Amino acid sequence: MSVFPVSEEKNRWLREKMAELGINEDDLEEKFVRSSGKGGQHVNKTSTCVWLKHVPTGIEVKCMAERSQPLNRFLARRELAERIEALAGLPTRRELEADKVRKRKSRRRRRTADKYEKRLSPNDQDRDP
């Protein structure tokens, strides 16, 4: 497997995740095409967009998030691993992040409700306007 221009920890994580899901480099079909968007002449001259296909499952990923081809190769593999993980029914990174946000919002809602309940004294509740 290639070494990508990210930290060694992220490279190791990707290798482990691909091994855990049974994704082999031989099962991947990879093409490089020209990206679109910002970048001007640089984008028009270089093929930084990465198209990745996992042949056994038929899942295709296209990544053109960055101007660097090696970085897009890493991001495409990470996205492919997440999609295969979701297909297998395992919780993905995005789902875990969404759960964290949901829990945080409910905790804030409860705290706010508790704060306003405490402000009302028993005498205030008995009075009629």
d(CA 109, CA 117): 12
SS3 state of residue 82: helix
pLDDT digits (tens, 9 = 90+) for 19-60: 999 999 999 999 999 888 777 787 788 899 999 999 999 999
* pLDDT band, very low/low/confident/very high, at 129 (cuts 50, 70, 90): low
Q: How many CA atoms lie within 13 A of 80 on its CB side?
A: 33
Give residue 118's pLDDT. 73
Phi-psi region of 21 (alpha: psi -120 to 50; beta: other; left: phi over 0): alpha
Predicted structure pTM score: 0.74
pLDDT digits (tens, 9 = 90+) for 72-111: 999 999 999 999 999 988 888 888 899 999 999 999 999 8
d(CA 91, CA 45): 39
What are the residues facing 61 on neighbouring strands?
Answer: 52
What are the residues facing 54 on neighbouring strands?
Answer: 28, 59
Query: 98-114 burial, b if ≥16 CB within 10 A, otherwise e?
Result: eeeeeeeeeeeeeeeee
